[in-house]
């Protein structure tokens, strides 16, 4: 099994486990897509941690041996599977935390970018080396996060940035020692998972939808989500809990 999955305390953990560097086959792209698409039915999950096994790599990108065997005729079909996989992570119904346990190159860098929050181990690096193997990388996703000059330097040179540089430019939200990575990601997921399930799902959808809208239009849409939330029991419980200075008890409706 190249993709591990577990649920505990309203948190799902999805782990790419394909030694030695968690490189991606077309089948693994498909597994990731199916797993994150299935999250729409996970009523018992409020946050997802997405990570890789070991410390050699979060994901080193496409398995080049498989790529060499592919034909030009196959490429459009392969590309559609890759796009579906990235979209499944980005549009997961609940917040996704990428716990980047090592270098994230090519598709691995894109998987980190389509998560909502990125926590990186100190030795992690982020790169788009596709130009070195005759391909174009995931700039359409990375441009959401990186300044154009830095993005183009990475794209044209194939040279990565380290975790501290990624934090400095705002791509990564926290950098921690590798030994602390899993616990740090789980702790943040626990904070998120304790929120109202309906509120989290609406907040995730709202953020995804307003990202590229004009400010006023986006805010109007966001307000409409707030109005919808007012009709839920959990929203009223959240307000009561704050007023009464106690933890909220959510019922999911």
What confidence tens digit (pLDDT) does each residue in 202-252 have?
A: 999 999 999 998 999 999 989 898 888 888 878 787 878 888 778 888 877
* Top-level class of domain 3-193: alpha beta
Most confident of 43-47, 61-65, 219-223: 43-47
Tell me the mean pLDDT in the region 147-171: 97
Three-class secondary structure assignment of 147-173: CHHHHHHHHHHCCCEEHHHHHHCCCCC
Q: For position 35, what pLDDT does the model report?
A: 97
Residue 51 confidence class, pLDDT cut points 50, 70, 90: very high
Q: For position 225, what pLDDT does the model report?
A: 84
- Measured in degrees and rounded to the nearest 5, phi and psi for residue 48 equal -125, 130
Residue 191 confidence class, pLDDT cut points 50, 70, 90: very high
Tell me the mean pLDDT in the region 131-135: 79
Q: For position 232, what pLDDT does the model report?
A: 85
Q: For position 66, what pLDDT does the model report?
A: 73
Q: What pTM does this model have?
A: 0.92
């Amino acid at each position: 099994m190249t993709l591990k999955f577990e649920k505990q305390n309203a948190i799902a953990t999805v782990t790419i486990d394909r030694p030695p560097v968690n490189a991606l086959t077309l089948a693994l792209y498909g597994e990731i897509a199916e797993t994150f698409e299935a999250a729409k039915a996970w009523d018992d999950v409020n946050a997802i941690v997405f990570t890789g096994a070991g410390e050699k790599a979060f994901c080193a990108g496409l398995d080049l041996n498989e790529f060499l065997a592919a034909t030009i005729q196959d490429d459009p079909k392969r590309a559609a599977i890759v796009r579906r996989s990235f979209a499944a992570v980005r549009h997961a119904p609940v917040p996704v935390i990428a716990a980047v346990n090592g270098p994230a190159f090519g598709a691995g860098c894109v998987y980190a970018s389509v998560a909502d929050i990125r926590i990186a181990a100190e030795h992690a690096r982020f790169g788009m080396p596709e130009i070195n193997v005759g391909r174009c990388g995931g700039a359409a996703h990375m441009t959401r996060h990186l300044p154009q000059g830095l993005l183009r330097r990475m794209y044209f040179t194939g040279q990565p940035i380290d975790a501290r540089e990624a934090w400095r430019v705002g791509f990564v939200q926290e950098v921690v020692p590798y030994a602390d990575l899993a616990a740090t990601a789980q702790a943040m997921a626990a904070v998120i998972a304790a929120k109202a399930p309906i509120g989290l799902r609406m907040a995730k959808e709202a953020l995804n939808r307003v990202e590229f809208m004009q400010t006023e239009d986006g805010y109007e849409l966001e307000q409409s989500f707030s109005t919808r939330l007012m009709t839920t029991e959990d929203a009223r419980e959240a307000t009561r809990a704050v007023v009464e200075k106690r933890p909220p008890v959510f019922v999911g409706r």
